[in-house]
């Protein structure tokens, strides 16, 4: 026979058990939510550390919409465009070449030369601070890769067969670049580079 005290004890135990289950369930869902939030933040944190996605509108989905297939292949998949069949290999107009993703100034026509390789080649970047050099051991060889610091886009490689005195050749992919002619520098916000071309007159 159940006494009032035993019923009360069972009710208390049941209530305590329900409370514990409710707390456990709340903790479980909170943990999952925090884990999902952390996963969402990881790509952004990693990109920030590498210099990538520092520019608005540079998520993978947005880049796939904005870039051509070749531009995406070169900049984000470390590809190489065909020699002699790219936009700037034979471009002799005065101006600067900027990152096709971020617009960061990278190279100047003042430092461009005909390397006879079929890719746009430069003796140096506009500013060393705008590019990152990394060791590339792909394809069974060791080369120095060049990437854009701001967008982490693959640009090309450095070789030691350029003109003197440094003999450095920055062999770049046209697909990684956008050319801004000298007459549009001020209009597009690159007016600070006009003196480079005034000195050549």
Catalytic residues: 171
Contact, 120 vs 177, CB < 8 A?
yes
Say how far apart CA 102 and CA 185 lie, in whole Å.
16
Beta sheet of 169-172, edge-to-edge order:
112-113, 121-122, 169-172, 154-159, 143-148, 131-136
Say how far apart CA 30 and CA 24 lie, in whole Å.
10
Helix/strand/coil (H, E, C) string of 112-132?
A: EECCCCCCCEECCCCCHHHEE
Is the C-alpha dihedral spanning 76, 54, 120, 181 positive or negative? positive
Element holding 59 (H helix, E strand): none
Say how far apart CA 134 and CA 73 lie, in whole Å.
19
Report whether the peptide linkage leading into residue 165 is cis, meaning its omega lies within 30 degrees of zero: yes
| Six token digits for residue 173 | 């992919």
């Amino acid at each position: 026979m159940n006494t009032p005290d035993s019923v009360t004890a069972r009710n208390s135990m049941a209530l305590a058990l329900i409370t514990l289950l409710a707390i456990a369930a709340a903790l479980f869902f909170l943990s999952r939510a925090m884990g999902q939030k952390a996963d969402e933040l990881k790509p952004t944190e990693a990109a920030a550390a590498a210099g990538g996605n520092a520019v608005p509108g540079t998520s993978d989905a947005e880049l796939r919409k904005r870039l051509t297939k070749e531009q995406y292949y070169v900049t984000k998949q470390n590809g190489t465009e065909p020699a002699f069949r790219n936009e700037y290999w034979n471009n002799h107009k005065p101006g600067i070449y900027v990152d096709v993703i971020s617009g960061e100034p990278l190279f100047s026509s003042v430092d461009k030369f005909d390397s006879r390789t079929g890719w746009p080649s430069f003796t140096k970047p506009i500013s060393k601070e705008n590019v990152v050099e990394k060791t590339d051991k792909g394809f069974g060889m060791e080369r120095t890769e060049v990437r854009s610091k701001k967008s982490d886009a693959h640009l090309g490689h450095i070789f030691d067969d350029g003109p003197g005195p440094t003999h450095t050749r920055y062999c770049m992919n046209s697909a990684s670049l956008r050319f801004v002619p000298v007459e549009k520098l001020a209009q597009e916000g690159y007016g600070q580079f006009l003196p480079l071309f005034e000195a050549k007159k």
